[in-house]
Amino acid sequence: MKSVEKKNPSAVDAVGMLRDVEEISLEIFQSLLSLASQPKARSSSHGWSVVSKLFQSKRVSCEGEATELEKIDAELLVLKSSKDINPVQVQNVLKGLEALESSIQEAEEELEGVYRKLVKTRVSILNTLSH
């Protein structure tokens, strides 16, 4: 490490930043894993609370406003408890599920992009340090 300090002092700064990024990334992943591994809290016979927290599209300004996932969950609960199946309700649930699937796919694509950028950055830094 001392030879790197003498040859390229900016590499030392880059290594320090990488350590900080690694530490933050590990904390985020630990938080996500602890959230995902918590026992499912079941509220009114359905266990969407953990999933709802993960997929909230935005912070709601008032507590009465439900997220997209909570709306779908509520509609599914109504369908489950009703004796007659209403085709309009089924269509609404299907549309909501399609929108949710699209949102999940977008999130996956964004995460893949972030991962690719992290790999490229790591390669660049390793190349810089090795020369």
Residue-by-residue DSSP string for 75-131 = HHHHHHH-SSPPHHHHHHHHHHHHHHHHHHHHHHHHHHHHHHHHHHHHHHHHHHHH-
Residue 45, phi-psi category: left (phi > 0), alpha (psi -120 to 50), beta (remainder): left
Q: Kindly state whether residue 127 falls inside one of the protein's structural domains.
A: yes
Range(s) of the domain holding residue 130: 66-131
Q: What is the pLDDT of residue 37?
A: 63
Whether 114 maps to a domain, the answer reads yes
Helices (H) and strands (E) in the chain — how many of each? Answer: 5, 0
Note the pLDDT of residue 50.
46
Task: State the pLDDT confidence band at 61, using cuts at 50, 70 and 90.
Answer: very low
**Residue 110 forms part of a structural domain:** yes
Asked if residue 39 is part of any domain, the answer here is no
pTM above 0.85, yes or no: no
Q: With respect to residue 16, please indicate whether it lies within any of the assigned structural domains.
A: no
Residue 105 in domain: yes
With respect to residue 17, please indicate whether it lies within any of the assigned structural domains: no
Residue 2, number of CB atoms within 10 A of its CB: 7
Please indicate, yes or no, if residue 59 is contained in any of the structural domains: no
pLDDT band at 1 (very low <50, low <70, confident <90, very high): low
Total domains present in the chain: 1
pLDDT band per the 50, 70, 90 thresholds, residue 35: low
